[in-house]
Chain A
Amino acid sequence: MAFNYEKYIRPGKLPHIWCPGCGHGIVMKGLIRAIDKCALNKNRTAVISGIGCASRLPGYVDFNTVHTAHGRAAAFATGMKMADPGLTVLCVGGDGDGVAIGGNHFIHACRRNIDITYILMNNHIYGMTGGQFSPCTPTDGFASTTPYGNPDPVFDIAKLAIGAGATFVARTTAYHATQIDKLIIEGIQHKGFSVIEILDCCPTSYGRRNKYRSVVEMMKQHKELAVPVTAAAKMAPEDLAGKIITGVLHKEDKPEYCEQYSRLIEKVQEQAAAKG
């Protein structure tokens, strides 16, 4: 049965501003399906973003939404979650917003293990501001600020999140549309900081400069490069070079920040009461 997205879209907001073929629309649909399957209350769900193409997403969805400063989605989300731990808080954003300009907020949200789901749409470029290279632009890739090819190595967002202490880390691509909602559901249900990296395609700022004829060619490349995490475990490391490992990459249970904080408050109150 066709899914009815209209229930979760603000009236009159479609069609969205994203370019033809941009993967952000596919991710937004996945996010809406995931929230629907989790049966979350619209008024008890918050979607927070920074600045960028991907960060336009909260403008379309009918939840409590905040469009914040560049890279600061995780900081605002932390504040909201601390003020009301019962709220389901989701962050959305792109690679430039999340791990470059907001890199510091991102790693510290991972370290605190606060119960937020961060959906990071990695399109390898700063799309909105004119196609500048981001830390996720592939080495030798072309951007408006790397006209001779990008000399920098690429940030591995999943490894960064695991290293910084996130307790649920997953990766998929916009081609694997059914996996998007599955991973977001797992992320929402996980108690702790969840990072879901979704590789999507920017045909306008990245594709054109890197000799991709169409967005379909970019998506086909993601399809060919994707290796499920179970298959990757059986492969030699040299065979995995350049591949995209998809699925749940890391999951562990660690104390959640809001709970730890409320315990601290109780402890201090007890100590104060004992002193009289």
Chain B
Amino acid sequence: MGIPKIEINEKYCKGCSICVEFCPTQVLQMNGFVAQVVKPEACIKCMQCELRCPDFAIRVFPE
């Protein structure tokens, strides 16, 4: 079980912070108006950020 790859498309992210607030392990953080991955090692691959991102900006590859 390696660290998953979390991709954030900064062109699509509108900074609603849904992913940051609902992440159960605080993997993401806001960097101004764009979400940023800060603790990828804490990711439990629940995929909720990807499911709840309204802007198609997050993709999680659980590798």
Q: Enumerate chain A interface residues (CB-CB to B < 8 A).
A: 1-3, 5, 9, 14-16, 18-26, 29, 174-175, 177-178, 203, 214-216, 219
Contact = CB atoms under 8 A, between A and B. Distances in A.
Given A25-B56, A219-B22, 13 more contacts: A1-B61, A2-B50, A2-B59, A9-B56, A15-B14, A20-B14, A20-B16, A21-B16, A21-B18, A22-B54, A23-B54, A29-B56, A203-B16
Question: Number of contact residues on B: which range applies?
Answer: 20 to 34
A215 B16 contact: yes
Contacts, number: 64
B24 to A, nearest CB: 13
Given A215-B18, A216-B18, A16 B55 contact: yes
Given A21-B16, A177-B48, A1 B62 contact: yes
Contacts of B53: 25-26, 29
Given A15-B12, A29-B51, A5 B56 contact: yes
A25 B61 contact: no
B56 A216 contact: no
B27 interface: no
B56 A20 contact: no
A216 B55 contact: no
Contacts of B54: 18, 21-26, 29, 174
Contacts of B7: 2
Contacts of B56: 5, 9, 14-16, 25, 29
B39 interface: no
Contacts of A174: 52, 54
B44 to A, nearest CB: 15
Contacts of A18: 54
B54 to A, nearest CB: 3
Nearest to B12: A15
Contacts of B18: 21, 215-216, 219
B40 interface: no
A216 B16 CA distance: 8
27 contacts: A1-B61, A2-B59, A2-B60, A3-B50, A5-B56, A9-B56, A15-B11, A18-B54, A19-B14, A20-B15, A20-B16, A21-B14, A21-B17, A25-B53, A25-B55, A26-B51, A26-B52, A26-B54, A29-B53, A174-B52, A177-B48, A177-B51, A203-B16, A216-B16, A216-B17, A216-B18, A219-B18
